Amino acid sequence: MTKDDKQKIAEFLDLASEHLSTGYQTSAREYQFCDDVSKEQIDTIEQIAQEIKICRNCQLWEKRTNAAPGEGVLQPLVLVIGEGPGEDEDRQGRPFVGRAGQLLDKMLDSIGLSRKTNCFIANVVKCRPPFNRDPYPEETAACAHYLQRQIALLKPKFILVVGRIAAQTLLKTTEPIIKIHGKFMEFEVGGMKIPLIATYHPAALLRDEGKKRPTWEDLKLLHSKF
């Protein structure tokens, strides 16, 4: 029901009451009503996930097996954001479940984090780019509103961004990850200001063990803020 409908009903009831009690009509009272919020208007993580699964906002839907909306707990301590699904994620419809995902779980566990208890894991694009190529700007743009809505609903205390693409997308920068990681920045969305730290993608650690030490330092810095 709209606020105007409510106002009309209130005016009718006031008029009827005055007619029965005094027989006189006074000036109409102005009430501060609001429009009702329908069930369809209430955003939820599950609703966003369902929209993502059938999304056709960019070309990535054409070759996907499954979209990977994200998973974890509501109101997480940390929201982990990566680039996009790979082959295993596309097959299962879940984020970070391949070799890199298994390493990510170990990385999180090392500082007391888990997607089962206090984290939510998502990506900047929800469908796999062919051959695991970098997502195009129009593809990240097409997915941006899903991630923004997820962040607004989840209200994480911290954001951990893994990998160059995710960091550059969220921070709107072209700086390489080596210049971005290792420090806290402020990410603003929906009126919220959330501490954000970026680090190397676990897939990069599988290719180059030299990145494990700086990544561990980034994780320790994040943990120091809990």
Encode pLDDT of 78-95 as tens digits: 999 999 999 999 999 999
Q: Are residues 32 and 92 in the same domain?
A: no
Q: Write out the E strands in the chain.
A: 71-72, 78-82, 119-123, 158-162, 184-189, 192-199
Q: Average pLDDT for residues 198-214, to the nearest whole number?
A: 96
* pLDDT for residue 52: 97
Q: Are residues 170 and 63 in the same domain?
A: yes
Q: Are residues 84 and 8 in the same domain?
A: no
Q: Are residues 46 and 10 in the same domain?
A: no
Q: Are residues 137 and 98 in the same domain?
A: yes
Q: Are residues 129 and 57 in the same domain?
A: yes
- pLDDT over threshold 90, residue 5: no
Domain span including residue 59: 41-223
The answer to whether the Cα torsion of 55, 89, 146, 143 is positive or negative is negative
* pLDDT for residue 43: 86
Tell me, what CATH number does 212's domain have? Answer: 3.40.470.10
Q: Are residues 9 and 72 in the same domain?
A: no
Q: How many domains, in total, are found in the chain?
A: 2
Q: Are residues 192 and 86 in the same domain?
A: yes
Q: Are residues 8 and 53 in the same domain?
A: no
Measured distance CA(91)–CA(48) in Å, rounded: 20
Tokens 């501490």 locate to: 195
Q: Are residues 7 and 48 in the same domain?
A: no
